[in-house]
């Protein structure tokens, strides 16, 4: 693995995976959220990331680095 590939892998954090395999991803350096599927990478907002995770989630991962606001919104919308 090249150094740039290693850095990119450490920069990317998957906070949720939907039932159809779309990943809700945050890139730490840029602080940006994306919905990433097999064929597309679509930029989204924090609210869009949370809504996608809640409506379509097979797996929401709380407590990950860089996800404090995401976690808080998920908890608030889910009522816990």
Model pLDDT for residues 31-63, shown as the tens digit of each residue: 999 999 988 999 999 999 999 999 987 899 999
Q: What is the pTM of this model?
A: 0.83
pLDDT band at 1 (very low <50, low <70, confident <90, very high): very low
- The Cα 74–Cα 58 span in angstroms is 14
Helices (H), 1-80: 3-11, 46-56, 68-78
pLDDT band at 79 (very low <50, low <70, confident <90, very high): confident
Token duo for residue 22: 């779309």
Distances (CA, A) of 30 to 11, 26, 40, 73: 9, 8, 19, 20
Higher pLDDT, 29 or 14: 14
């Amino acid at each position: 693995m090249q150094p740039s590939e290693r850095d990119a892998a450490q920069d990317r954090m998957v906070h949720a995976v939907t039932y159809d395999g779309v990943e809700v991803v945050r890139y730490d350096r840029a602080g940006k959220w994306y919905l990433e599927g097999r064929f597309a990478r679509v930029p989204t907002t924090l609210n869009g990331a949370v809504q996608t995770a809640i409506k379509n989630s097979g797996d929401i991962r709380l407590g990950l680095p860089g996800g404090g606001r995401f976690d808080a919104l998920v908890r608030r919308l889910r009522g816990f």
